[in-house]
């Protein structure tokens, strides 16, 4: 399988990393991108300038991107997964591969596949198994779908860390979503536990007990990382956790934990949007983040 023209839907953090990392790969002639920000008067100048500096071709619409691409990669927020598939479907050329990187439930991925394959495209789901930074395009991914085994060698040839896990759609996403419940849940627990410990002035007693129970984890450093990532990407994580809740519900289980985790991430995202963490250094300690939350509580 040879692919020369790649198109990315979504020019956020992941889209920028993938478009940059793929353009220099053997056989790739052009990498194009489309994002609503490229058509928005308030953001298009900065986004188009970024694309030009990166050597990426900014398209003027979803249609122009899909019609110019042999491989379309969807890298948008979880809540837009199905909407993007539905918008792209009418413009997909028969035989085009649609690689869905989005963190969505098995049911959502199956809906995406139905609409895209009805248009003649080949749908492949991807479960991105950890944060894209600092791995870049080499972030570990699980692939699923009838064409997963065929697409995997192509992506591996570009240096990507991929593994086809099932011809059945939804398996790769189920693995990803179940993992997300644990990882995003731990983030939510740390933020709630640490901020509460800080409020009572007992953090110097609480963290050593965690260190004793789980000695392989640097709980202070891990706490700072969790706070910083949720402050920066809380909205995206909240949407992913709502998809995780759908995954649990699709299995016939009440998603009590996944729903609560989504709510915690959304709360942190709302605090960030309100400016609670404005000016805070990206390498700040967890206590600085907690103090900002506590100060906001007192207003």
Structure confidence by residue, pLDDT tens digits, 151-185: 999 999 999 999 999 999 999 999 999 999 999 99
Other beta carbons within 10 angstroms of residue 299's beta carbon come to 5
pLDDT at 239 over 80: yes
- What burial class does residue 209 get, using C-beta atoms within 10 Å of its C-beta: 0-12 exposed, 13-18 middle, 19+ buried? exposed
> Pick from 168, 183, 215: which residue ends a domain?
168
Q: Residue 87: pLDDT band by 50, 70, 90 thresholds?
A: very high
Range of the domain at 213: 173-297
Per-residue pLDDT, 256: 98
Alpha carbon distance 177, 136 (integer Å): 20
Note whether 68 and 95 are same-domain residues: yes
Q: What's the Cα-to-Cα distance from 224 to each of 94, 122, 208, 221, 283, rounded to whole Å? A: 47, 41, 16, 5, 8
Note whether 161 and 105 are same-domain residues: yes
pLDDT at 27 over 70: yes
Note whether 76 and 161 are same-domain residues: yes
What is the domain count for the chain? Answer: 2
Alpha carbon distance 62, 20 (integer Å): 19
Q: Which two tokens stand for residue 122?
A: 């080949």
Alpha carbon distance 194, 287 (integer Å): 8
Per-residue pLDDT, 299: 64
> Pick from 168, 190, 208: which residue ends a domain?
168
> Pick from 128, 144, 168: which residue ends a domain?
168
Q: What would the pLDDT profile of 289-299 be if each residue is shown by its tens digit?
A: 999 999 998 76
User: In terms of Cα–Cα distance, which of 268, 266, 265 is closest to 280?
Assistant: 268
Note whether 57 and 99 are same-domain residues: yes
Note whether 136 and 195 are same-domain residues: no
Alpha carbon distance 273, 292 (integer Å): 13
Q: What would the pLDDT profile of 37-66 be if each residue is shown by its tens digit?
A: 999 999 999 999 999 999 999 999 999 999
Note whether 195 and 286 are same-domain residues: yes
Q: What's the Cα-to-Cα distance from 23 to each of 101, 135, 143, 177, 296, rounded to whole Å? A: 18, 16, 21, 29, 44
User: If residue 63 lies in a helix (H) or strand (E), which one and from where to where?
Assistant: helix 62-67
- 231 contacts 272 by C-beta, under 8 angstroms: yes
Q: What angle do CA 100, 10, 16 make, to 5 degrees?
A: 105
> Where residue 186 sits, what CATH number does that domain have?
1.10.1040.10
Which percentage of the chain shows pLDDT scores above 70?
100
Alpha carbon distance 278, 78 (integer Å): 26
Rounded average pLDDT over 200-226: 98
Half-sphere exposure (Cβ direction) of 30: Cα atoms closer than 13 Å: 12
Tell me the pairing of strands 97-100 and 30-34: unpaired
Note whether 145 and 259 are same-domain residues: no
Give the CA radius of gyration of the chain.
20
Q: What pTM does this model have?
A: 0.91
Average pLDDT of the chain is 96
Note whether 196 and 291 are same-domain residues: yes
- Secondary structure of residue 265 in the 3-state scheme: helix
Rounded average pLDDT over 68-83: 97
Q: Which residue has the higher pLDDT, 131 or 66?
A: 66
């Amino acid at each position: 399988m040879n692919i020369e023209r790649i198109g990315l839907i979504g020019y956020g953090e992941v889209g920028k990393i993938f478009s940059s990392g793929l353009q220099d790969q053997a056989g790739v002639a052009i990498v194009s991108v489309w994002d609503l920000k490229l058509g928005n008067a308030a953001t298009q100048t900065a986004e188009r300038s970024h694309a030009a500096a990166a050597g990426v071709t900014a398209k003027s619409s979803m249609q122009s991107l899909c019609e110019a691409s042999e491989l379309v990669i969807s890298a948008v927020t979880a809540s837009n997964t199905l909407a993007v598939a539905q918008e792209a479907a009418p413009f997909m050329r028969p035989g085009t591969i649609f690689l869905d990187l989005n963190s969505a439930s098995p049911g959502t991925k199956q809906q995406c596949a139905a609409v895209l394959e009805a248009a003649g495209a080949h749908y492949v789901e991807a479960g991105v198994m950890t944060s894209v930074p600092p791995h870049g395009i080499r972030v570990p991914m699980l692939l699923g779908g009838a064409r997963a085994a065929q697409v995997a060698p192509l992506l591996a040839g570009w240096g990507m860390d991929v593994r086809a896990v099932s011809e059945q759609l939804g398996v790769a996403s189920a693995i990803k979503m179940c993992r997300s419940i644990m990882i995003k849940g731990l983030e939510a627990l740390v933020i709630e536990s640490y901020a509460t410990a800080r409020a009572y002035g007992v953090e110097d007693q609480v963290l050593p007990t965690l260190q004793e129970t789980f000695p392989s984890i640097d709980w202070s450093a891990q706490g700072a990382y969790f706070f910083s990532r949720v402050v920066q990407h809380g909205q995206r994580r909240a949407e992913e956790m709502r998809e995780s809740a759908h995954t649990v519900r699709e299995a016939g289980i009440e998603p009590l934990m996944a729903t609560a985790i989504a709510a915690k991430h959304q709360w942190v995202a709302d605090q960030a949007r309100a400016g609670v963490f404005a000016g805070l250094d990206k390498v700040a300690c967890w206590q600085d983040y907690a103090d900002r939350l506590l100060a906001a509580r007192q207003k």
